[in-house]
Each structure stands twice: as structure tokens, then as C-alpha cells.
Structure 1
Amino acid sequence: MNRKPILPVDAILPAMLASLRDVPNLVIEAAPGAGKTTRVPAALLELVAGEVVVLEPRRIAARMAARRVAWERNEEAGETVGYQVRFEEVSGPKTRLRFVTEGILSRRLLSDPALKGVDAVVLDEFHERHLDSDLALALLKRLQKTRPELKIVVMSATLDAGPIARYLGGCPVLRSEGRAFPLAVQYAPYTADALPVQVRKAMELLVKEGHAGHVLTFLPGLAEIRRTAREVEGVARAAGFAVLPLHGDLTPAEQDRAVAPSTERKLILATNVAESSVTVEGVTAVIDGGLARIATHSPWTGLPTLEVGRVSRASAQQRAGRAGRTGPGRVLRLYPEEDYMRRAEHDLPEIARADLSQLCLSLRVMGIAPGEIEWLDAPPAEALANAEALLDRLGAAGAMAEKLARYPLPPRLARILVESVARGVGEDGCRAAALLGSGARAEKNDLLAALDEPMDARTKQQFEQLRRIARTARQETHEDAALLLSVLAGFPDRVARRRAGNQVMLATGVSAEVAGARPVYEFMVAVDAEDRPQQGLPMIRMTAKIEPEWLLDLFPDRVVEQAEVVWHAAGERVERVSSLVYDKLAIEESRGPASGADAAALLAKKALEAGIERFVDAEALEHFTARVAFAGLPAPDLEGALRELCLGLQGFKGLREAAKGFLPGLEARMDGRLLNELAPVQVKLKQGRPMKVHYDHGKPPWIASRLQDFFGTKEAPRIGRDRTPVVCHLLAPNQRAVQTTTDLAGFWERLYPKVRNEMMRRYPRHQWPEKPV
């Protein structure tokens, strides 16, 4: 029985085989629905004697492709054709064609750098540019130098073939157009409606038009899938649609239910796992929200980020192609056409935005420096440096690096597992690594509390596989301290200390917020954290308790003793704070009196901020500085004098007492004789009476006294470098000025007679001589 219908890609298979006989590398562009994922790898079995490995970007694609090829060969998966994904393998001794997820090949290269027995590798849907696919391509190209017969085939529907063909030595490019089923694309105008509401309205439109077939809807993530499922439930039920989710966190059985052939119409709510390599029979309409959750890594906080962003035009085309695989299709894009035209042509490669610690660990185990690799797109130098620094903190060198690479886990979680085995709590370590690595969202934000909850199916599957790899015995008892020490070994840079409310301070010096209940312990490790640059503080979803003394035991070189002088605002005093600091986090503090130049400088600074008039008579200080300015001398160093005055003092209380000698101290710091000569404190008039000289900034000096005190004085006193006449305020007996002048001679001659008459009338008991001079 022939189960193989004719597919468009079949037309290029003879040319593909002929090309690969002459040149080991090939790039294939094939439109969605052309059949490249199933037909190209199967055809390679005729060309090579060894194994053919096909890299798929997603687990569901690897499983479905393997099953489809096996079905076309009238076999069961696990015979000639098999697959291997994380925590699942279906293969046998006769398996020659193996569909694997990208990380599987990277791990195989660790244990078998020469890929013995593998004669051809196909990188499918390479346009997604996952980190593992870029690493695999670079390592395969490197391997071809010693194994020139190794075949490398790169495939995609929306690939920019030129750069990759050049990277692979200018290899040939073959193109297959795919089925020419009509595809009607409709754009939606901008709306403020939430995404689930937009999906419901789009579904109502399809139902109203009497649309037949399944509907595939693309949404950013699991949260949006759940909200949309609730929103469309009524419309779907009334129209006879089963609402099914499709995302990476589902079990294989749950994913199969969404994609398996069915006579019941389905509304499939999917993340971008359904973008490529997945043909769902009967899908004739696609609703595309145009968004995806994009994983990046923040160099500022060192935390992962997961942001909802607009997909590229290439991804939008891939999504649209799901509707035209088996017949005419309809695409409803929930955004305007202008929005589509402004989008990037392709998504940014993951190697340019992701945490590179896993990549660097693989290269360390292989003994290859990142700079020795010829990359299609070189990773950012800063990201490489950060990844290498993290691996150094995890102790990932030599034998430890090889131990970490044994596990299908990120380096942090592998470090937890290795440490827990060494501390005799390997089973608990496997459980913790499985929980943190599965992506499951626990209701508890404390790791130990979350571990007490029943495991979901996916976490349990990972737990069992990790136990097999680690070969741990079943534990009779649980040693919480040993497990938490192991967690700390995996997250040495995520130590945090509780602050007010739900806020914590991370060892990186960044504040973060703990989701859920406030931690009851002071020190912790942020084991599940995410940077949220658009939403304020980073969010910590799960913590694990630690003791500060563990940091001294495990990382003594990271703990330093520091001392600094700080200001105690409530007590208005300086204090010396001695701290033990881990990275940028104080784990122990003690306070005491401060002394010395630093303390005096801080006390003086705070006194100036508070206002020097709190300690010194403001009028007297103003008068002194005005005298100095009038004398033309350099302005007094108020801060320096205050700092000198603060030596040996602890706070404002002592400063107020000491400040009684502030002005004399200022004068002592300059040439007092010259100051008194140029800006005397007082002057004497003809009658010998001394008068205080007043100084104001920007104004001439002045004196004031009773008019009788000026009798006998023909001219105003002159002072200063320029012999400036002093302004004389001539006061009546009631202390009010009858005249303000620097021209005493003119006053006596022209104005005094009139003033005398008035004064004699008002103050007859006083002497008012006719000739006062």
C-alpha cells in the first residue's frame, strides 16, 4: 500500500541527491506545505549508508515528523525512523533516520565529537535561528574539516538563503514552491480591545461566514491561551468547535490531541510552537495575533527577560502558511497592514539576545574557545563575557564542567544536582531541578514549600529521567539545609536580602519584588526571577532560604569587610558602619561612633545642607563675609572651616557648642591685621566716639549714630583700598534718620539749618548749636 501522496518537494529530490553527491552542503528553500520536513530526510537514506539526523526546533515537530515518515514507510516509529526529544526517545537498533530537537545534537557532540555513524545532518526550519541550531551549524562546519564527506542540509520556508550558502562555502541552493492553494489574508483595523476579545470577534466572523474546517489561532503564551479559551468558549460551543490548547508545556498526549486528525471541528489556541513543521490536517483558517513571547537576557540585572513582542514578517508568513497546507485557506491578522509592513523581515537570532552559559559550557567541555568557532552570526562579546563569568562562579571547569554537561539542564540547575548528590540529597536535588527546569508555575513562592506539592506530569517525567542519569538512591529522610546549600551553589549571584514589604535587595545591587507572600526569612536565593524593564522592579517568583554564614563557608573570596561613615538622620549624627559584604549585598552590619577626617567632612556637609545659620549667628556671619568682600580679600572657606571645626565631633549637638568659635576661627585663618586695616570693625569721629561699621554685600559700608555725635566732623570717614567714604546715618533722638549721606560738609552747609529748627522745636532739651562744625 502506497501511503505517499505526491508533494511539491518531490520534484527537487533528484536534483538534491545529485547535488549532494558532488557538494556536501545544500540549502533548500521550500514553501509551507511543500513536504520538505518529511520527504528530504527520507530521501537522504538512499544517499548515505549511515544515520541521518534531523534537527527540529520543537519537540512536537520532531515527534510528528518521525511518525509521519514512519507511516509513509508502512512502519511504526522506532523502527527505521525514530525521534529523540528532551526526556523522551523512541528508536531501536534499526533506526537510521532520527528526528531530534536541537539540544539533543549538541549533547551528542559532547560525548561523540566526530558523530560516528552519522553521515548527514538536516537543520529544519533554520529561519528560527535558535541558539542550539546556530551552535550545531558551527560545530558541523568545523567537523567537516576532518570529515569532508559529512552532508549538511539547511532548510526553511522563509530563509534568507544567500548568507547561509556563503557560510557553507558557497554551496548550491534549491527551491521548491509548494502547493499553490489560494490564501486570503485579511487585516484588522487598530482596536483597543484586549487580545482575547479580538480573537472572539474574529471567530464570530468565521462562524457567520459559515467557515468549515479547523481554526488555528496564534497567541503569545499560556496566560493568553487560558484567557482566550474563556472568552471564546460560548461562540465555539454554539458553533460546534472543540477548544484545544497547544503549547510546549503540554504532555505529548495533550499535544497529540490538538494536532491529530479529527472529524470534530477544532479551535486550536497555540503559541508559536505551531508556526513551523506542524501540519494539522483540516486547518483552513488562521487567526494571528501577531505577537510572541520573546526570551532575552538582561546584562544589567543578569536576569532573563520574557517580553511580548511583535513577530517578524517571516514568522507571520509561516503562521499564514498553516492555513494553506491542504487546501484554500483564510488568514485573519489582528493588526493593520501598515503594522505588518513596518515589521522586521526576520526575527533577531537567539544568539544575539540570549544567555550563553549553556553554549559556553558545551564549548568548555569540548575544549573549544568561542573565538575559535566560525559563527554564522558571532555572539555579542558582553554576553560571552557574562556567560563565562557565571560558569566560573559555578566552578564549571575541568571535571566539574563535564559533570554539569551530563545533565539535560541549564548550568545552574545542573550545578544544583551535582552539589546535592555530593551532599547526599541527590533525590531532592533531582526534584528541585525538575521543578525549576520544567517551567511549571507553583502556587508557593518558597522552594521547599513548592517541593511538598504533588508533581505535575511533566515535572515528574523530568524528575525520573534525572534520577536515572544521576543514579541516586531513594532518600529516607530530607535534609533541608543540604538541599538549600546545593541551591545556593547553583545561584551564587542571586543572593538577596529582605527589605520593606515584598522588596528585596539582590547581590547585584538591584532591588526586586517577590511575588505572592512576603518571605518569612531574611536571606534567600532568587531561584525563579525575571527582569521586567517596562514594569518597574524585577519580579522574583520563587525563593529559597539560606543562612548568611553559608556564604562565608562556600564563597569566602566573595565576602569582604567594608567600613564607611554614614549619616544617622534621626539622631543628627555621623556613625561608622562596619559591614561584611557579599558582592554588593551587606550580610552583616554593626554601627558605632565615627571619627576622623571622613566623619568631619560628612558632618560639615550635612551642617551646610541643614543651613549654617542653625549653628552660627547668621547676621554676624553675613557681616563678616561682607567685610571680607569689601576688603577685596579671598572669600572665606566656610566648608573647610566648618570641617575643621567638626573634627572630633559626632553630631549637630556638639557642633552647636563648638560653633561659638566659628567666626573667630574664620578670621584666624586669614590676615586679620590687613582685614581690620581695610575693613575696620569701627571708626572714630572727631569727638572720639567709636562707631560700628556695617557691611552689606554689594553696598558701601555705613555707620549710624545721633546727629550730635557727628558735631565737629566735617567729612565722612574713608576706609578700604579706594578710601571709600562711609555712608553716615544721622539719627534724631528718636533713632530715626534725619539724613543719610556721605557729604557731611554739604549737609552742614545746606540742610542743617532747616533740620536744626525742626529739632529745636521737637527736642528743646537737646543742644542744637548754630555752628556744629
Structure 2
Amino acid sequence: MLPIEDSYSELITSLKKHPITLLQAPPGAGKSTWLPLKLMVDGHFKRIVMLEPRRLAARNIAHYLASQQNEKVGQSIGLRIRGENQVSTQTRLEIVTEGILTRMLQSDPELSDIDLLIFDEFHERSIAADTALAFALESQAAFRDDLKILLMSATLDSERYQQFFNCPIIESLGRSYPIDEVYVPLKDETRWLNEIPTIIKQALNEQTGSALVFLPGQSEILRVQHALNDLPSDCQLVSLFGEQDKAKQQAAIAPAEQGKRKVVLTTNVAETSLTIEGIRIVVDSGKRRAASFNLKTGVTELTTQSISRSSAVQRAGRAGRIEPGVVYRLGSKQTFERRNSHDTPEILATDISQLLLEAKLWGAEIEQLSLLDTPSTQQIAQATSLLQMLEALDQDGKLTQLGTELLSFGADIRLSHMLIKAQQLDATFPGIYILSAYLVALLESRVKHAVDLNLALHSQLIKPHALFKQQLRFWLTRLKLSEVSELNTGYLPLLVALAYPDRLAKMRGNGYLLANGAGAELSEEYWQNDDYLAIANMGGHKGGRIFAAVAFTPNDITEQLSHLFTEQTRCEFDERAGRFIHQDEIKLGAITVTSQPSKQPLDKSERAKAWLSLFKKHAFKLFNEQADSEQLLIRMCIASKLFPEQFPTITEAALVANNQWLALYLEDIKTLEQLKRFNYFTALQSCFNWQQQSALNQLLPLRLAVPSGSNIKIEYQLDGPAKLSVRMQEVYGMTSTPLLAQGKLALLMELLSPARRPLQLTQDLAHFWQTSYRDVQKEMKGRYPKHFWPDDPATSIATNKVKSKM
């Protein structure tokens, strides 16, 4: 009996009563197999769609469930993943990957005839799952109050999810079989991979049964395979990863031959919803390959990272699916306990262009969707810029017809743009469409190849890699094209520009400047003399190393990608030469393609823009010292901070960054010397309206009237109290320190001698009169006998004269 069976009745009740239910059940509980089949067989729902985060798991679950029904996939149990569509009118339980559900929702927001959505292994939090769930929640709220949603995982962040979705949680306690834990501390963290073969051999010697070994990627799998060439003859060594063909994957999952043990080297593709018979040992490297998005370069790179504790629990669960098992964890228990509880959601660590485009098609902005984690404004800005380059959004951010086509194409939106446009251009550029198919196959197969894409494609024509051939077959079939023996690679720059317009680059010093403004490293082996590169693949340190590119000239792409080019006039002041530079330029994003002296006369607004650029560079240090303006700036910053409801946000950095407040006042300035002498008091004051200016003078006055009748200037500072420097005789009769900004800003009184030398600093005048004044009085009577030094200054008459003239 599976653990999930004990919770079945409670789960059914919850699903009937609530729109959303969370199910937390450990690995091996039966939530991915027994439960959906039971829900279908019992007829609680007419049609169920279950989402699996991985194609391998989706395929195997569908085949397993179909076998339980003595059917083939496509009858009551359906399967829809990329490249496979096995559903029929008989289908009542459909296993899909998340991108498929998003397409179903976009084409039919009401999800006709579907009354239960199951999100399996929801803890993985792929961006596709987050997108599909956000749309499903809106569909549920707007169209289908009878649609039920079930979120399942062994390691849900239950409290947070329960609060966000306002729904019940059902827990299925207990694991099918117990799992022992063995920790293997590391002497040198940098050499962790070298320890894996030793741990595998140790586990095989100490335990019975087959072993599942979790490694980050294919390169690590290959290294460990080479190191395990001396395994006992009864051990069968196989690998399992997402890019394998189906036959090899099925061979890896199949039970070991009679009398043999199996050692399966795998990536996290086997972490969830997958049972490999005979496995009772897990060796966990504690590493995974995960997306790491660089906002500056716009590159999502796969990096090796430590997994979270929840992922480690998932991996260990593979050992206890069919009998008691054991997990060997690389690293100490203390290291394990210091890991994050859950992995960073993909939506916060990757390019969100696809999500943004899906939201536009759905008719919403990202901020309006019910997302557990909302992308940052920087992510949204970066994605918007890219989508405009790909012609998916217009300059107003509205979805275009081409944007809709990109989504329906069912591939990465960059590659979709390239393929759609290549088909349209084939009449003008014969052979560009077939070339695009070969290029997509090369990029998606991820085979190691020359950095120059010309060489890379020609080498695949001569001696194709198996993975390249697999991808090429897929794309030729899908695009209804035939294999060729020759390619016109002269179109490569245009194709790469269609897919990666933000990665068009121009040589700059020892590297390249990308159209998106980022920098890229110059390879020492390629293109030393090429001014321009169209980059298809980059990554490495800070996402800035070029892995695949082709040389081009702007003329190669200008006509077909005219929207990427802009004409503008640049005006700036050259401080070294002491003159204006006034140029007409053609820009490709951040790249200057051409620049020549402007044919237009230099007008006031252009000159003002040049001065503003100089101001942005030097800030307020650009101007000569001017105490009144500097004090106004400080007072405005203080008022903004202390009274945010009354004054707009003012900081020095913000005034420099958003400097249009200054523009109008600089139009008539013609020389740098004039600019330095410019008094910016009036311009700065204009940032406050008349009422705010009046309030500023009341709350933070420029001068303070003291009992002698004098108006003494106050000196303000950004951090710390304001300061009033005044001769002591002038504040006789003042019983307390004056208040500034309704008491929110302290005033430091610097009491001076008749010769204006400092005598005392105090923020509590009353206390000073009662205490330290006596000592000051004794000393000052002897030094300044002509001046008034009363015994009770708090009640005495203030004066700015000597005694004889009082």
C-alpha cells in the first residue's frame, strides 16, 4: 500500500470544496502515478491534465499509467510534449510539459472539458510552470469557478504557498521505505569531482542493489565514466540525461540484467517523478547545472551550483522507492545544513522575454499576474528591449502580429524569429531558409564546435555529430525541408542578427562592444581583424566570453533589420580640446556605426544637452563654490527625507541622473567658464513649487533671529545636526535650544567669544547655562572685561555691544 492512499479521501474532499489544494508527499508516496490514475478511474473529474517539469518524466509516467490500464498511450492516458502528441477523444488523463499547458490556455482560456489541473513537482518552480499557473488562476477566477488546481511536491515551501494561495494543505506522511544517510566530508572543495568515483565504489562495496549517481551535467558524467573503467563485471555502467535519444534513456531506466547491478550516472533529470527499478543507493554530488542570468549582457548561462536541501531530499528519495535505501552525500552534515532550504525560482534567475510576451498575448502586464515571485523592473526592462529588437513588441510595448507568431511557433523566441523571417526572405536570398534549419540544429544540439560559425557548419556537413544529426532531422521534418550537401553560409550574419540582435558587436580596444551596451572578451584565436561580429553564443566569466560568432559588416543587415538602426545627432563638450563636438551618427543600439560632422547648426537645445552630459559626469562639482546654492540643495534633501508626504524625493544623485530641471537654464551658456560661474540657485529652487518653497523656509529657515535682534545664518549638513555659530552675549535670555523642522532636526549651537572664537558646542542651551557656563564666565571676565558676563545668562538681556554702550 502506498502512503498517498491514506490521504486520498481527505484530498478528494479538499478538491471538491476548494479551488486550489496543496499536496505535500514524500518521494515514493505515489502522488505522480497512483493518485492521478485513481482520480481518473474513480470518475471524480471528466478530464485531468497533469504537468510534469521534464519531458523524460512525462513520457515515462504516461507509458507507465497506460500499461496499468493495459492500453497504449493515446487512449485513456494521453501525452503531449515537444515532438510528441498522443491524445484522442478517449483521453481522460493527459500528461504534458508546462509549455504545452500555456499554449492550451492561450488558445482556449476557458480550458473547455478540463476540470482538474495537477502541477507535479511544483517545488522545481520552472518559469513555464509559474506562467501556466498564473494563467490558470486567472482562467479559474474569470471563466471557470469549477476548475480545480492541485499543486504537488515532496518539498513544498508549504507555509508561504498556503498563505499566497489561501488554500488548504494535505500532507501524506511517511516514506515508502526508510533511507539511511552517509556524509562524506571533503578535504578540498575544488576537487569534489575526483572524489565521486571513490564514493561510488565505496557504496557498491558496502551496499546491495543498483546505484543512482547525481552529477551536474554531461561533462562530469563523461569524466566519472572514464574513472570507473575497473568496476566489477557484475556492474553495468550507464548514463541518463535530457539530451539523449529515447532508446538510450529507456535503457538507462530499465531494470538491470539478471544477476547484475546497475550504476546510473545522471543529471537532475532523474531527481523527480522517475522510478528506476533496483535502485537502493543514491550518490549525491550536491551539485546541479542551473540558469544564471546576466542582466548586463542579456545572457543566460548554465553554471554549476550547490543544490538546496529540498532538492537533496528529492534526490535521496530515489533510493527508497521500492525498498529501504541509502544516500551518500558529498560533503559534511554541517555543509548540508548550511544550504538554502529551496532553490531560487527560475523566474528570478533567467531571461523573462518569453513570459513577458506570453503575458502580452494573454492581455496582461507581468505585474498584474498572480506570480509567487515577480521579476525585477530591470528584468522587465531588459526583456522589453529585446522583444522590440525581435519585432515582437512595437515601440509602445504593444504586441505585434509577429510577436503572436513567435509564440505559436513553439520554439525559443529568438530562434523562432530567425526561422520565420528566413522563410519570408528565401525568395530574395535563396538558400537562407535551409541554412537557418542547419544553424538551429547546430545551436540546439550543443555539440562542441569551432567558434567561427562558418567553420562549424562546414565541419558538420562533412562529419556530422550524432546529436547534430538528431536535431537536424527534427527541424528538417518540422520545416518540411530536405537535407543538402552545400550551404550558402554568406547569409549567416543576417540569420544570427535575426536571432541575436542584442549581440551584434563592434571591436573596442581588446574586446567588443555589444549593441545592448555590454562588453565581450576578444578571443585570441579568432577575428583579430574583424571590426564587427554577430555573436550566437556567449557566456563564461560574467557572461562576456564569445563562444560562437560570425564576422559581418553593417551593410549585411541594414536593409532587412533597419529597425535596429537609428539616426541621431550627438553633441558633447570636449574638455581637453575646449570645444563642442557636433556629430551626425548612425547607431546600432549602443554601437556607433558611422559618425561625421553635423550638417545642422548647433542650436541652444543641443548645446544644453552637451552641458547636461558634462553635469552628469562631474555633478555639482562642475560649478564654482556657491554657499547659498549648496545650502539650498542640502535643505531640500533634508526636507524631502523628513517630510516625504509634503516634498518630492530629492537627492543629489537623483538630481544628477534626472537633470532636466537644469536644461532650460543652460541654453544661453556658450563657454565652459560661463558654465562654471553659473549660479544654479534659481534652477534648483524650481524643483519645489511655491507652496513647497514657503514650507521649506518655515521648516528649515536660512537664518535664525536671536534675542540680540541679529539674524544669524544657519549652516545645514546632509548627515548630522544643523549648526548656528553665534556670539554668546547675543543669546542671553534664550532658555532652550531652538527647534528646526518641527523638532525633527537637531540644532548644534556654537557659542563664540566676542572675538568670534569657539567657546562651547551644545545642543542643550538650558543645561549649559546651569553647568559649564560658570567656568566660561570666570575665564571670559578676565579676558574680555568690557563685555557683559552675567551670573544668570538665562534671564539676562542679550546684547551685541560692550557694557559701556548697552
Q: Could you say whether these structures have the same fold, taking a TM-score greater than 0.5 normalized by the shorter chain as the test?
A: yes
Match of 1:630 in 2: none
Match of 2:101 in 1: 105
Q: Secondary structure at the match of 1:524?
A: strand
CA contact (8 A) 2:445 2:467 kept: no
After superposition, the Cα gap between the structure-2 partners of 1:255 and 1:514, relative to the gap in structure 1 and judged at 3 Å, is farther
TM alignment of 1:591-610, pairs within 5 A: none
CA contact (8 A) 2:179 2:327 kept: no
What is the rounded CA distance, in whole Å, between the counterparts of 1:380 and 1:33 in structure 2? Answer: 37
Select 1:426's aligned residue among 426, 433, 450. 433
TM alignment of 1:425-444, pairs within 5 A: 425-436=432-443, 438-444=444-450
After superposition, the Cα gap between the structure-2 partners of 1:435 and 1:557, relative to the gap in structure 1 and judged at 3 Å, is closer
TM alignment of 1:14-33, pairs within 5 A: 14-33=9-28
Match of 1:559 in 2: 566
Select 2:223's aligned residue among 227, 230, 248. 227
TM alignment of 1:482-521, pairs within 5 A: 482=491, 484-498=493-507, 503-513=511-521, 517-519=525-527, 521=530
CA contact (8 A) 2:254 2:277 kept: yes
After superposition, the Cα gap between the structure-2 partners of 1:94 and 1:556, relative to the gap in structure 1 and judged at 3 Å, is closer
Match of 2:252 in 1: 258
What is the rounded CA distance, in whole Å, between the counterparts of 1:245 and 1:515 in structure 2? Answer: 33
TM alignment of 1:323-402, pairs within 5 A: 323-396=319-392, 397-402=399-404
What is the rounded CA distance, in whole Å, between the counterparts of 2:190 and 2:502 in structure 1? Answer: 41
After superposition, the Cα gap between the structure-2 partners of 1:121 and 1:563, relative to the gap in structure 1 and judged at 3 Å, is closer
Q: Does 1:216 align with 2:212?
A: yes
Displacement of 1:163: 2.8
Amino acid at match of 1:22: K
Amino acid at match of 2:247: A
Amino acid at match of 2:518: V
Displacement of 1:576: 9.8
Displacement of 1:22: 2.8
Q: Does 1:548 align with 2:557?
A: no
Q: Secondary structure at the match of 1:194?
A: helix
What is the rounded CA distance, in whole Å, between the counterparts of 2:378 and 2:514 in structure 1? Answer: 21
Displacement of 1:375: 1.6
After superposition, the Cα gap between the structure-2 partners of 1:332 and 1:515, relative to the gap in structure 1 and judged at 3 Å, is farther
Match of 2:7 in 1: 12
Displacement of 1:323: 1.2
Match of 2:666 in 1: none
Displacement of 1:388: 1.8
Amino acid at match of 1:122: I
Displacement of 1:48: 4.4
Q: Secondary structure at the match of 1:245?
A: strand
- Does 190-199 or 462-471 show the bigger shift? 462-471
CA contact (8 A) 2:267 2:288 kept: yes
CA contact (8 A) 1:59 1:85 kept: yes
What is the rounded CA distance, in whole Å, between the counterparts of 2:224 and 2:564 in structure 1? Answer: 51
Q: Secondary structure at the match of 1:493?
A: helix
Amino acid at match of 1:340: F
Q: Secondary structure at the match of 2:446?
A: coil
TM alignment of 1:316-715, pairs within 5 A: 316-396=312-392, 397-424=399-426, 425-436=432-443, 438-452=444-458, 453-454=460-461, 456=465, 458-467=467-476, 470=479, 478-482=487-491, 484-498=493-507, 503-513=511-521, 517-519=525-527, 521-530=530-539, 532-533=541-542, 538-553=544-559, 554-555=561-562, 558-560=565-567, 580-588=586-594
After superposition, the Cα gap between the structure-2 partners of 1:477 and 1:422, relative to the gap in structure 1 and judged at 3 Å, is farther
What is the rounded CA distance, in whole Å, between the counterparts of 1:515 and 1:522 in structure 2? Answer: 13
Select 1:278's aligned residue among 274, 291, 308. 274
TM alignment of 1:86-235, pairs within 5 A: 86-145=82-141, 146-192=143-189, 194-209=191-206, 211-234=207-230
After superposition, the Cα gap between the structure-2 partners of 1:329 and 1:126, relative to the gap in structure 1 and judged at 3 Å, is same
Instruction: Provide Cα deviations, 1:399-451, integer angstroms capped at 9, x if missing partner.
Output: 11111012222211111011101101333323323332x24224122334333
Amino acid at match of 1:582: L
Displacement of 1:90: 3.4
Displacement of 1:348: 1.0
What is the rounded CA distance, in whole Å, between the counterparts of 1:110 and 1:461 in structure 2? Answer: 30
Displacement of 1:484: 3.5
What is the rounded CA distance, in whole Å, between the counterparts of 1:543 and 1:549 in structure 2? Answer: 17
Instruction: Provide Cα deviations, 1:108-146, integer angstroms capped at 9, x if missing partner.
Output: 222222222222111000011111111111111111121
CA contact (8 A) 2:21 2:167 kept: no
Displacement of 1:542: 0.8
Percent identity, aligned pairs only, is 31
CA contact (8 A) 1:52 1:120 kept: yes
What is the rounded CA distance, in whole Å, between the counterparts of 2:517 and 2:29 in structure 1? Answer: 53
Instruction: Provide Cα deviations, 1:641-662, integer angstroms capped at 9, x if missing partner.
Output: 9xxxxxxxxxxxxxxxxxxxxx
What is the rounded CA distance, in whole Å, between the counterparts of 2:6 and 2:17 in structure 1? Answer: 19
Q: Secondary structure at the match of 2:541?
A: coil
Amino acid at match of 1:433: V
What is the rounded CA distance, in whole Å, between the counterparts of 1:494 and 1:467 in structure 2? Answer: 27
What is the rounded CA distance, in whole Å, between the counterparts of 1:120 and 1:101 in structure 2? Answer: 15
After superposition, the Cα gap between the structure-2 partners of 1:72 and 1:584, relative to the gap in structure 1 and judged at 3 Å, is same
Match of 2:33 in 1: 38
What is the rounded CA distance, in whole Å, between the counterparts of 1:458 and 1:113 in structure 2? Answer: 37
Q: How many residues align?
A: 590
After superposition, the Cα gap between the structure-2 partners of 1:422 and 1:545, relative to the gap in structure 1 and judged at 3 Å, is farther
Instruction: Provide Cα deviations, 1:331-353, integer angstroms capped at 9, x if missing partner.
Output: 11111111111111111111111
Displacement of 1:498: 4.0
What is the rounded CA distance, in whole Å, between the counterparts of 2:503 and 2:98 in structure 1? Answer: 29
Normalising by structure 2, report the TM-score.
0.67
What is the rounded CA distance, in whole Å, between the counterparts of 1:193 and 1:239 in structure 2? Answer: 32
After superposition, the Cα gap between the structure-2 partners of 1:556 and 1:550, relative to the gap in structure 1 and judged at 3 Å, is farther
Displacement of 1:175: 2.4
Q: Secondary structure at the match of 1:441?
A: coil
After superposition, the Cα gap between the structure-2 partners of 1:591 and 1:198, relative to the gap in structure 1 and judged at 3 Å, is farther
Instruction: Provide Cα deviations, 1:81-123, integer angstroms capped at 9, x if missing partner.
Output: 1322222333344222121111111122222222222221110
Displacement of 1:64: 1.2
Displacement of 1:358: 0.7
CA contact (8 A) 1:219 1:270 kept: yes
Q: Secondary structure at the match of 2:295?
A: coil
Amino acid at match of 2:7: I
What is the rounded CA distance, in whole Å, between the counterparts of 1:297 and 1:285 in structure 2? Answer: 34
Instruction: Provide Cα deviations, 1:153-184, integer angstroms capped at 9, x if missing partner.
Output: 11000112233233334234242423142423
What is the rounded CA distance, in whole Å, between the counterparts of 1:375 and 1:548 in structure 2? Answer: 41
Instruction: Provide Cα deviations, 1:353-409, integer angstroms capped at 9, x if missing partner.
Output: 111001111122222222221222222222122112211121103211111012222
After superposition, the Cα gap between the structure-2 partners of 1:417 and 1:134, relative to the gap in structure 1 and judged at 3 Å, is same
After superposition, the Cα gap between the structure-2 partners of 1:342 and 1:530, relative to the gap in structure 1 and judged at 3 Å, is same
After superposition, the Cα gap between the structure-2 partners of 1:515 and 1:122, relative to the gap in structure 1 and judged at 3 Å, is farther
CA contact (8 A) 1:297 1:305 kept: yes
What is the rounded CA distance, in whole Å, between the counterparts of 1:195 and 1:339 in structure 2? Answer: 13
What is the rounded CA distance, in whole Å, between the counterparts of 2:245 and 2:564 in structure 1? Answer: 44
Over aligned residue pairs, what C-alpha RMSD do you find?
3.6
What is the rounded CA distance, in whole Å, between the counterparts of 1:563 and 1:555 in structure 2? Answer: 20
What is the rounded CA distance, in whole Å, between the counterparts of 2:367 and 2:587 in structure 1? Answer: 35
After superposition, the Cα gap between the structure-2 partners of 1:321 and 1:557, relative to the gap in structure 1 and judged at 3 Å, is closer
